[in-house]
Structure 1
């Protein structure tokens, strides 16, 4: 994900941010960064990156997020964190409380905050295509975990301590649910683990969001694709759906009608990341923006960790 955001910063015309330097403890990962951005200074450690930047972007395994963020905030920098906020719930609660009290400039990278497809769902809802929301269904499936493009990080992504699809993928849809419907309350959950220290292979949960009933299901297997997902909100006047990350659809004539300007995820992603970077620039300058807040990320993490503990 760090490489994707770096590419977005380099390739967007009139980019809102300029990469000042990077560090990765893995020589292989550092070599990939050098190939992506030949002119980017590769610095000797995280402290050097913090010294060089106005805003620190942290794309690392979850255990590193909060320590690096705390160092950057102490140095007066803004912080943009990959999700999840952390794998340690108590540490996250302490960090968020302290950051909020200090008025820290910090946000978490839930890209749906800049998704054109989500904006389309909101526009349809405003036009009355949904009516009062009555129920939500969220389904995710994977041919294997980690996904093919993440296998270089399987050493932690496939493990129970920090990885798993609930933290990495389901969290996006919980963020979307929280932002569009309201506070999340977990009512019942079950997680299945294949054994040893491996991450979950399936989850089921029943929640509410702003009082709306939510059913959540996820599993490894059952699809030949890297991943497939659907977020389906039903109301008195109709239904809205976000499918496969980027396809906005509405119920119409007994079926689903796709937004005329819908793009597959590989084509929409650069637009979304460009929007995120524009908001990172605003965050760094102390200007209004609607990136995922630390509090939103903490609320998502609380539900995720409760599901995994069930």
Structure 2
């Protein structure tokens, strides 16, 4: 089977991570990559001196079978529309757009056209999430879910190159960047979400949020959502904790599947590994699904509709500030 031509627009952290998985992947060949930043061009050359930036985004779209969009959020919909109009498959980063109405319109258009499109929520391919799902029956009927993400500072240190937009209220913030992943997990594991109440704190000016709290339901199960900046010493701590009539299970720090033992202590899955080691495995799974999407085969990537539901909750929480 011929290798699929993969184009990448946006060569920040996520673009680089996906490229490193794509280069050895047997289903893909890199057909083009573009980012206007000189720093991005230097990082690309460091990976492989033979790789060169395309002249522009249009050239990448023209030359690919499937397009990965890892540019800042304001560019997601225009690039995706152009690729879909050209008959390409598309994998977008979240959020779908900076404007919810634009996201709504785009999803309706894409669905009406039967577009091959998905959103890069890596938990769709996470081995740790698969373990959590396998444990679901052991805890019985779900009673409540708690989702939390806390940070020493925002953006995180490794995101400094994107701090120009990640730290701003218009496009950035940890609710969009991090809690959205856990809301996707909630939607896929529990069912449709409904926001009941929310509160968001902002430091002033155009800076992104420093704390959020929200109450919602997912598949009828109560969910408590919380997040903060500057209240912990470690760089980041997050958890998705589901409690049922027969016990509790959780996903902690992205990749650690744990269940609450009879002695009241959390017990890690035997094959649990830190996120730094699991991330390549998860992204490989995403690449496998992207190949299937491009070929029109069944796959489990996050759908545009799922991403839109997540964005509706996220934007409603932030609007409560």
Q: Does 1:57 align with 2:68?
A: yes
The answer (yes or no) to whether the contact 1:133–1:233 under 8 Å persists in 2 is yes
Q: Aligned with 2:242: secondary structure? A: strand
SS at match of 1:305: helix
Query: Among residues 290, 296, 300, which one is paired with 1:286 in the alignment?
Result: 296
> Which of 36, 56, 76 is matched with 2:87 structurally?
76
The answer to whether the Cα contact below 8 Å between 1:20 and 1:41 also exists between their aligned partners in 2 is no
Write out per-residue CA displacement over residues 229-274 of structure 1, whole angstroms, 9 at most, x where no aligned residue. 0100000011110000000001112221110000100000000000
Residue among 168, 178, 183 paired with 1:159 = 168
**What TM-score, normalized to structure 1?**
0.97
What whole-Å deviation, never above 9, does each CA across 1:194-229 have from its counterpart, x for those lacking one?
010000000000000000000011000122222110
Q: Which residue of 1 aligns with 2:312?
A: 302
> Number of residue pairs matched?
306
> Aligned-pair distance for 1:129?
1.5
Tell me which residue corresponds to 1:7: 20
Q: Secondary structure at the match of 1:308?
A: helix
Distance in 2 (CA, whole Å) between partners of 1:41 and 1:106 is 26
Q: Does 1:92 align with 2:103?
A: yes
SS of the residue corresponding to residue 92 of structure 1 reads helix
The answer to whether 1:226 aligns with 2:239 is no
**Does the CA-based 8 Å contact 2:107-2:305 persist in structure 1?**
yes
Any conservation in 2 of the 1:136–1:213 contact (CA below 8 Å)?
Answer: yes
> 1:276 is matched with which residue?
286
State the alpha-carbon separation in 2 of the partners of residues 44 and 102 from structure 1: 29
Deviations for 1:269-289, whole angstroms, at most 9, x for unmatched residues? 000000000100100000000
Alignment of 1:1-310 (within 5 A): 1-10=14-23, 12=24, 14-125=25-136, 128-253=137-262, 254-310=264-320
Query: CA deviation digits over 1:62-103, x for unaligned, max 9?
Result: 000000000000001000001111111000000000100110
Q: TM-score scaled by structure 2?
A: 0.94
- Inter-partner Cα distance in structure 1 for 2:40 and 2:230: 29
Q: Which consecutive residues of structure 1, in runs of 5 or more, have no partner in the other structure?
A: none
Tell me, what secondary structure is at the counterpart of 1:141? strand
Q: Gapped runs of 5+ residues in structure 2? A: 1-13
Q: Output the CA distance in 1 between the equivalents of 2:54 and 2:318.
A: 37
Counterpart Cα distance in 2 of 1:86 and 1:34: 30
Off by >6 Å, runs of 4+ in structure 1: none
Task: Determine the C-alpha separation between the residues in 2 that align with 1:282 and 1:225.
Answer: 38
Root-mean-square deviation (Å): 1.0
Measure how far apart 1:16 and its partner are.
Answer: 2.9
Secondary structure of the residue aligned to 2:34 is coil
Distance in 1 between residues matched to 2:252 and 2:115, nearest whole Å: 34
Q: Is the 8 A contact 2:44 2:52 kept in 1?
A: no
d(CA) in 2 for partners of 1:3, 1:290 = 23
Instruction: Report the Cα distance in structure 2 between the residues aligned to 1:40 and 1:188, rounded to whole angstroms.
Output: 49
d(CA) in 1 for partners of 2:134, 2:122? 18
| Equivalent-residue separation in structure 2 for 1:208 and 1:40 (angstroms) | 47
